[in-house]
């Protein structure tokens, strides 16, 4: 390196030399005082990503070491160790790495250097999206998200955080212990009355006959879902946490609602369980309000909403998917992500290196939490696999039945709108949506599961061509066998057509089957038993010749159209009277009401000389031109 000076060599050296900050300068610049102004840029100041919220320690954790919770601006929740959380909490956009190192060392109890802090930020916090990578101008980072299979997609906010906070504050008194006990006692009394004395299914059947009431019950069900979410928010507020927004999304292509209660992780386990159960508790409050509306108005559709509310509670308690039951079980175990423990627990059963690594990960859980999570995994995984196998085996049956039902539903809905039946048409639209959503959900799940299995198989067999070919052979054999079972008819056939339980939910679908025609039997024109009594015949009293004959229907007579009274059956014949002329006949009608038309006459076929003509019961066929006498409504 050439040094600047006043000696002769320096006077002749005009080449570039290192200057301030390592910038080359010439001798003329140094001699004339025209050195460039150079600002030496120090190390970058760490910054947190936009929208990051640090929620503190995870209270009631099921892990042996304490865990800390942070929530990114995109809603993704990440778990941090204590050291990483201290580093993140010391970053404010002003302190440099040296200052952060002094601050963290004092709080952590161990000495950290500036290089240690830079390593933790660059290698740990930057990949998690907690901090902004050095050199990036914007504070918003694009970090990897966990692609959960059973997660809510397409979030849309309905109530923002400010409105939710106000409503939750107004409803938080419902979580006081005395109020909770009173509500649960009232619900127990209501269930005893509804199921044991009144009859829970009665109001549901009444509603199914009226499309307008069906729409009202549907609106009440949606209102109960919204009220359910405010139960979570108010319970979060009552426990000392800050509830977030309430919105909706798609859960397996099915509309669903959610409440942001991430802040509840910083309160105790009791507060989290109260928040988990708050939605179900508000379902109970809603059902009590519906019962009060019934007692005030006498309208049965309120009790129908109460009955359907029980099924909503049972659905929410299922721990298989990410509903309330899943979070209740997770908070009982102290593990916020149960699905994340499926892989290590199952791999822990495998001997070898991978099994040891998985067992080491599971060892981070406490003994009680490990038992709860292992029981859940070993129970739910076989059930989910069994349901998946059952669905694949019955796939042709399911698809054929659903397509037939959808076609009938669309046809009936269009007919209802064409005839001006608006309420029935709207219920038909609801029925179409309820049919389409499961079909779309099956397709979505099939694509997602297939893609994950394909990617997992590629990773597992990377660099092992023999294993990859063997796996492909097994997969093709399984698909071939399943396809053969579908085509050959080994799988169950589609369900036969049946009349709908609720005709208004399926407009246009026939409500009854056509009557089956009985085969004729020799000796009986109407197909009855040979030598027996026909269904409409009445035994006659003995005639003058001492013999008796069973009345038969003439072959040319029409089939009965009116409803036959129960009193005119073969097992309980009406009492006959003897005419003055000596012939026996039955009264013209079973009821005591006077006939409104010509008297019912016997069969026009002349009787045999030795047989007594039998009377025709009310509602049976009569001779051409004669009108049958219908029984009064009280007699039917």
Q: What are phi and psi of 153, to 5 degrees?
A: -120, 155
Count, residues in the chain: 636
In the chain, the number of structural domains is 4
- Structural domain harbouring 493: 396-511
Three-class SS of 502-553: CHHHCCCCCCCCCCCCCCCECCECCCCCCCCCCCCCCCCCCCCCCCCCCCCC
Averaged pLDDT for residues 103-113: 90
Do 73 and 184 lie in a common domain?
Answer: no
Residue 224 lies in a domain: yes
Averaged pLDDT for residues 270-287: 95
Is residue 570's pLDDT more than 60?
A: no
Residue 518 lies in a domain: no
Residue 562 lies in a domain: no
Averaged pLDDT for residues 136-155: 71
Is residue 440's pLDDT more than 70?
A: yes
What sign does the dihedral 249-252-254-260 (CA atoms) show?
negative
Do 204 and 116 lie in a common domain?
Answer: no
Is residue 29's pLDDT more than 80?
A: no
Do 192 and 306 lie in a common domain?
Answer: yes
Averaged pLDDT for residues 616-628: 38
Averaged pLDDT for residues 251-271: 84
Is residue 539's pLDDT more than 80?
A: no
Q: Return the structure tokens found at 167.
A: 């409503």
Do 89 and 182 lie in a common domain?
Answer: no
Do 108 and 164 lie in a common domain?
Answer: no
290, 312 Cβ separation under 8 angstroms: no
| pLDDT for the residue 346 | 84
Averaged pLDDT for residues 291-320: 92
Residue 285 lies in a domain: yes
Is residue 317's pLDDT more than 80?
A: yes
Residue 464 lies in a domain: yes
Do 32 and 166 lie in a common domain?
Answer: no
Residue 81 lies in a domain: yes
Confidence label for 551 from pLDDT (cuts 50, 70 and 90)? very low
Q: Which is more confidently placed, 520 or 291?
A: 291
Residue 624 lies in a domain: no
Cα–Cα distance, 312 to 431 (Å, whole number):
18
Q: Which residues contact residue 355 at a Cβ distance below 8 angstroms, ignoring those fewer than 6 apart?
A: 347, 348, 349
Do 461 and 422 lie in a common domain?
Answer: yes
Strand partners, 80: 68
**Among 636, 608, 605, which residue's Cα sits nearest to residue 622?**
605
Cα–Cα distance, 434 to 500 (Å, whole number):
15
- % of the chain residues with pLDDT over 90: 23
Write down the mean pLDDT value for the chain. 74
The last residue of one of the domains, among 295, 314, 334, is 334
Do 250 and 225 lie in a common domain?
Answer: yes
Cα–Cα distance, 110 to 496 (Å, whole number):
74
Compute the C-alpha angle 179/273/313, nearest 5°.
70
Residue 146 lies in a domain: no
Cα radius of gyration (the chain): 41
Do 452 and 499 lie in a common domain?
Answer: yes
The last residue of one of the domains, among 334, 353, 369, is 334
Is residue 224's pLDDT more than 70?
A: yes
Cα–Cα distance, 262 to 586 (Å, whole number):
82
Averaged pLDDT for residues 107-136: 89
Cα–Cα distance, 83 to 394 (Å, whole number):
53
Averaged pLDDT for residues 147-176: 86
Do 159 and 294 lie in a common domain?
Answer: yes
**Among 535, 560, 568, 537, which residue's Cα sits nearest to residue 550?**
537
The last residue of one of the domains, among 302, 334, 366, is 334
| pLDDT for the residue 381 | 84
- % of the chain residues with pLDDT over 70: 69
Q: Return the structure tokens found at 492.
A: 């169950």
Do 288 and 420 lie in a common domain?
Answer: no
**Most confidently predicted of 16-25, 313-322, 392-401, 435-444:** 313-322
Q: What are phi and psi of 437, to 5 degrees?
A: -60, -50
Do 490 and 446 lie in a common domain?
Answer: yes
Q: What is the tens place of the pLDDT at every residue in 32-65?
A: 656 555 444 445 789 898 888 888 888 888 898 8
Cα–Cα distance, 159 to 171 (Å, whole number):
15
DSSP per position, 391-425: HHHTHHHHHHHHHHHHHHHHHHHHHHHHTT-HHHH
């Amino acid at each position: 390196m050439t040094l600047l000076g006043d000696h002769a060599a320096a006077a002749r050296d005009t080449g570039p030399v290192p200057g301030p900050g390592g910038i080359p300068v010439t001798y003329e610049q140094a001699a004339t005082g025209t050195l460039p102004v150079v600002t030496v840029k120090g190390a970058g100041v760490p910054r947190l990503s936009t929208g990051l919220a640090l929620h503190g320690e995870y209270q009631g954790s099921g892990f042996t070491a304490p865990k800390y919770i942070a929530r990114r601006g995109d809603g993704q929740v990440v778990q941090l160790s204590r050291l990483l959380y201290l580093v993140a909490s010391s970053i404010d956009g002003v302190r440099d790495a040296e200052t952060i190192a002094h601050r963290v060392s004092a709080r952590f109890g161990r000495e950290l250097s500036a290089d240690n802090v830079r390593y933790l930020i660059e290698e740990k916090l930057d990949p998690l999206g907690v901090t902004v990578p050095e050199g990036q101008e914007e504070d918003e980072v694009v970090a990897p998200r966990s692609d959960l299979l059973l997660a809510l997609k397409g979030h849309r906010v309905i109530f923002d955080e400010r409105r939710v906070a106000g409503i939750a504050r107004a409803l938080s008194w419902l979580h006081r212990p005395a109020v909770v006990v009173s509500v649960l006692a009232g619900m127990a009394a209501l269930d005893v009355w509804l199921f044991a004395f009144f009859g829970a299914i009665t109001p549901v059947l009444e509603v199914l006959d009226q499309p307008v009431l069906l729409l009202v019950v549907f609106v009440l069900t949606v209102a109960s879902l919204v009220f359910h979410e405010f139960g979570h928010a108010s319970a979060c507020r009552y426990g000392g946490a800050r509830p977030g927004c309430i919105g909706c999304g798609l859960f397996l292509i099915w509309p669903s609602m959610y409440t942001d209660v991430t802040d509840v992780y910083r309160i105790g386990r009791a507060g989290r369980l109260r928040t988990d159960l708050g939605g179900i508790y508000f379902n109970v409050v809603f059902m009590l309000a519906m019962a009060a509306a019934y007692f005030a108005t006498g309208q049965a559709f309120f009790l129908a909403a109460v009955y359907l509310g029980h099924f909503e509670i049972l659905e929410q308690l299922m721990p298989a998917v990410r509903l309330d039951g899943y979070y209740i079980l997770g908070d009982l175990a102290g593990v916020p992500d149960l699905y994340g423990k499926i892989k290590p627990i199952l791999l822990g059963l495998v001997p070898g290196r991978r099994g040891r690594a998985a067992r080491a990960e599971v060892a981070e859980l406490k003994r009680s939490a490990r038992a709860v999570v292992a029981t859940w995994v070993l129970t739910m995984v076989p059930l989910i696999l069994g349901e998946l196998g059952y669905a694949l085996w019955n796939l042709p049956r399911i698809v054929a039945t659903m397509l037939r039902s959808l076609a009938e539903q669309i046809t009936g809905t269009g007919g209802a709108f064409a005839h001006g039946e608006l309420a029935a048409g709207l219920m038909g639209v609801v029925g179409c949506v309820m049919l389409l959503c499961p079909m779309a959900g099956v397709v979505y799940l099939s694509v997602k599961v297939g893609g994950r299995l394909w990617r997992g198989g590629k990773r597992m067999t990377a660099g092992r061509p023999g294993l990859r070919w063997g796996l492909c052979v097994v997969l093709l054999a399984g698909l071939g066998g399943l396809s053969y079972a579908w085509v050959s008819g080994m799988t169950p056939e589609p369900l036969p057509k049946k009349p709908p339980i609720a005709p208004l939910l399926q407009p246009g679908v026939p409500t009854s089957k056509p009557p089956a025609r009985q085969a004729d039997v020799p000796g009986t024109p109407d197909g009855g038993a040979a030598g027996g009594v026909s269904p409409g015949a009445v035994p006659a009293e003995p005639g003058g010749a001492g013999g008796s004959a069973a009345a038969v229907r003439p072959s040319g007579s029409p089939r009965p159209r009116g409803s036959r009274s129960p009193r005119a059956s073969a097992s309980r014949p009406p009492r006959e009277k003897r005419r003055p002329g000596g012939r026996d006949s039955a009264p013209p009608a079973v009821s005591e009401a006077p006939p409104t038309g010509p008297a019912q006459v016997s069969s026009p076929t002349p009787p045999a000389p030795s047989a007594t003509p039998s009377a025709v019961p009310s509602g049976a066929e009569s001779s051409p031109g004669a009108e049958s006498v219908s029984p009064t409504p009280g007699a039917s």
